[in-house]
Amino acid sequence: MQLQDLDYRNATFAKVFQRRSEKRVPGPRGRRLIGSLLEVRRNRLNFVMHATGKYGDLICFRMGPKRLYLLNHPDHARHVLCDNVANYRKGLGLNEAKPLLGDGLLTSDGELWASQRRLLQVAFNNKRMEEFSDLMITAAQTTVESWQEREPGEQVVDIAREMVGLTINILGSTLFRIDLTERTEDISRDLTVLTRWAMSRMTSLWKLPMRLPTPENRRARAALSRLESLVERMIQEHQPVDGSGNETLVSLLTNQNSESRGGVTKKQMRDEVMTLLLAGHETTAATLAWTWYLLAQHPEVERRLHAEVDQVLAGRRATLADVPRLVYTRMAICETLRLYPPVWLLPRKAINADRLGQHLIPAKSDVLVSVYTIHRHPQFWDDAGRFDPERFAPDKNPERESCAYLPFGAGPRTCLGSRFGLMEVTLMVATIAQRFSLRLVGDQEVEPEASLTLHPRRGLPMSLRRRL
């Protein structure tokens, strides 16, 4: 009996000692009932910047009754995304986007996610990259030619909007073998309605069912209906695999899965196509828009990039073989991805309790890896707010392996289309910079909007100046 009492006391002492050794995670107190909800809703990016600047590398804050943990250190990011990845599943924001994305690659977990990733890898293999690159360049040249046909007084465009249209067209021609030129405006509008609806739900105390006829729900349902009709047509029109090399993504998915599991369900088809429709263009369009913005603000960088493009291409059409030769162009793009990562936040939810240093992360907690602030962390980036492509020179070794650089995530869930996207951005920048120099218009402040992706709020009006 005495031994049992001693064991009990020792166990109790150990638990008390453990609790005392755990430091309280710092963070804003917020308001009594809603915590920091209003600040998050007002401006998500400003809230994250202020919180990390004031409280450091691990922050706890409340949105209503829910506690969230914001991670602002590469070591914490590596732990969640790589070292203990099995303890975390997709979280806040992506869950709210499920009416749009279903159980596609972005939102699924476990074996479903693993099987989907294996299926989709076939669309990005080496054999298809050259074919894709040619289609990308053709789309870019079409855009450039449409700009060249403008009258001198019509040389101002919203470059963010133009890049969305261009990347949707590229997505259609490469992965889906369909001409989306006449539908880009509608697709972009409907996806914007749905992503804003999802982000609004993320910061709502009460998530009303989508079926309730509120004005926001009606707009979201109408947008979703139009997109699903488009996706249904794309699925119906897909061509069976015949070995010709002209198969659509849907065809390849059907063939790959039919060999092992007896076919892909219609819902799986819908979810994957919808996911690629969103993820396949938004991140690339945002990267292109921010690249033009930064080049316009840094004329010396632009001059070096133009000189490289002129030397490598020598006035001809770009090809896939030119991509590794466009070294400085790639450096500028990598630095753009550092300062304005399209995926600015990686949300996860802890399955079981976990520990980050001396801090306990309770089970079922929402954990947010803050890519935007990690990319600007002064401990890992000198003069972090400065645009300096030299950080990514081939003879330098920026803190990429340490998870200080996460434009495509890290670990097993690293973006499947990262190679496709980098190739696309490099070829688009080279093709457009070969003909045009872009300049900001007026004194309008360019402000990033942190939605599912980080893009310019209110667009990005720029003037087109012909080079050749």
C-alpha span between 434 and 363 (Å, rounded): 53
What residues contact 190, with CB distance under 8 A and at least 6 apart?
223, 224, 226, 227
* Confidence (pLDDT) at 14: 41
> Would the pLDDT of 122 be above 80?
no
> Would the pLDDT of 142 be above 60?
yes
* Confidence (pLDDT) at 179: 87
pLDDT band at 242 (very low <50, low <70, confident <90, very high): low
Q: What is the pLDDT of residues 180-225, one digit of tens each?
A: 888 999 999 999 998 888 888 888 777 777 888 889 989 999 999 9
Q: What is the torsion angle, in degrees rounded to the nearest 10, for the CA atoms of residue 345, residue 351, residue 355 and residue 356? A: -10
Mean pLDDT score, 318-327: 96
> Would the pLDDT of 147 be above 50?
yes
C-alpha span between 146 and 161 (Å, rounded): 14
Domains belonging to the chain, first-starting first, are 23-466 (1.10.630.10)
* Confidence (pLDDT) at 53: 95
* Confidence (pLDDT) at 160: 95
Q: Are strands 66-71 and 58-63 parallel, antiparallel or unpaired?
A: antiparallel
The residue ranking higher by pLDDT, 178 or 312, is: 312
* Confidence (pLDDT) at 359: 93
> Would the pLDDT of 228 be above 80?
yes
* Confidence (pLDDT) at 67: 92
* Confidence (pLDDT) at 260: 47
Mean pLDDT score, 367-390: 96
**393, two tokens:** 């020179």
* Confidence (pLDDT) at 18: 47
Q: What is the pLDDT of residues 28-74, one digit of tens each?
A: 998 988 999 999 999 999 999 999 999 999 999 999 888 999 999 99
The residue ranking higher by pLDDT, 205 or 8, is: 205
C-alpha span between 140 and 137 (Å, rounded): 5
The residue ranking higher by pLDDT, 414 or 259, is: 414
> Would the pLDDT of 434 be above 70?
yes
* Percent with pLDDT over 70 in the chain: 87
> Would the pLDDT of 464 be above 90?
yes
Task: Kindly report the average pLDDT of the chain as a whole number.
Answer: 86
Is 388:335 a contact under the CB 8 Å cutoff? yes
Q: What is the pLDDT of residues 407-432, one digit of tens each?
A: 999 998 888 888 899 999 999 999 99
The helix (run of H) or strand (run of E) holding residue 454 is strand 454-457
